[in-house]
Amino acid sequence: MKNLRLIFFFVLSLLLVLVVFSWLAPVKQSLEKSISIQAPAPAVFEQVAKLENFNHWSVWNQQDSTVKHTLTGTDGTVGAASRWKGDPAVSGEGRMEISAVEPSRAVTHKIHFISPKESHATSSFYLAESNGLTTVTWHFEIETTRPWNIFNLFSAIEEQLGPDFEKGLVALKTQVEKTGDPQSKGLLQEVKEMDFPATDYAIIRQAVKWGDIGSFYSLHLPLIYRELQKQNSVPGIPAGLFYSWDTKNQLTDMAAALPVTGGKKMGNAIIRMENIPAGKAVYTDYFGAYDQSQLAWSSIRQYITAHNLKEKTPAIEQYLTDPRAEKDTAKWQTRVIMLVE
């Protein structure tokens, strides 16, 4: 009986220790690797943003000749996904989905590892270009559920996966520098230069989460429109003005805007006037749903890089099609404009 009591207290003590360690141990592990590539950011972005390209230079795919991929959605845009299945000891089975895209600057993937062990992770690529040299930073973060997170105290993701990420970045560098700048093969969309006219906008400006941009427009554009109606002012084409784009926090400093004539003072406290002076700009016309305009922005930035131009803020999206009158999103026309110097 005494021995049984000792065993019981030993097991109980062990369980308590495991519980304590489980709550003290981190539930996430992360690593970050970087490499410099002799190519402009749009050329690098083409390789990291498209899942089909990622599958070609990924070190794990190079190690597993049995792996099979199934792509869904429009590759290179939010919502596109790649499901893979291969050797359980190398690739296993899982799904990777594009969750955020900032053309020529960043792309984020949500990863669901299904087997041999289920887990979830986030993978992000951040691009920074200087004089034709692009630094790529690959950030990876994986979740470990309790109580299995105890093993995080005794193993380091850096030791386990660090070398694979370094090999992957070297493969990316080789692929990009071998392929060259996609600008030489033509832009994804036609980009033209224009003289942007001086324009007065009635705006409501604030920091908005990427996922809330649609609801921000829905709430504030009608508010601006009603205020202009009170003043017997006829608004022009609705637009979005983008002053900054925070990839890390998925946040943008932006404004819902309606162009007006006469520079009238608004009677609503949250609506103010903003003048964008006349100047040089480049633009492209995109047809499709608003949240799938990444190819247009990528083309704009490729053109800017190729012609040694410098971006100015704010960037502008003009919504030329009224979605209330046209229900087919494939026919929605958006003019993407970047002021340049």
88 against 138, higher pLDDT:
138
Task: Say if CB 121 and CB 142 are below 8 A apart.
Answer: yes
Domain span at residue 34 reads 24-183
Statement to judge: residues 121 and 227 lie in one domain: no
Calculate ∠ Cα 218-222-225, nearest 5°. 150
Q: What is the CATH number of the domain that holds 163?
A: 3.30.530.20
Task: Say if CB 260 and CB 228 are below 8 A apart.
Answer: yes
Above 50 in pLDDT, residue 160? yes
Above 70 in pLDDT, residue 267? no
pTM exceeds 0.85, yes or no: no
Q: Which pairing describes strands 28-37 and 279-287: parallel, antiparallel, or unpaired?
A: unpaired
Amino acid letter at 84? W
Above 60 in pLDDT, residue 154? no
What the block records as the tokens of 10 is: 């030993």
Question: Within a domain: residue 287?
Answer: yes
Q: What is the rounded distance in angstroms from the CA atom of residue 72 to the CA atom of residue 193?
A: 34
Statement to judge: residues 152 and 231 lie in one domain: no
In total, how many domains does the chain have? 2
Above 50 in pLDDT, residue 183? no
Give tens-digit pLDDT for 24-46: 555 577 788 999 988 888 888 88
Closest CA to 131 of 35, 36, 40, 34: 40
Statement to judge: residues 100 and 235 lie in one domain: no
- Which of 139, 166, 183 is where one domain is finished? 183
Q: What is the rounded distance in angstroms from the CA atom of residue 79 to the CA atom of residue 96?
A: 10
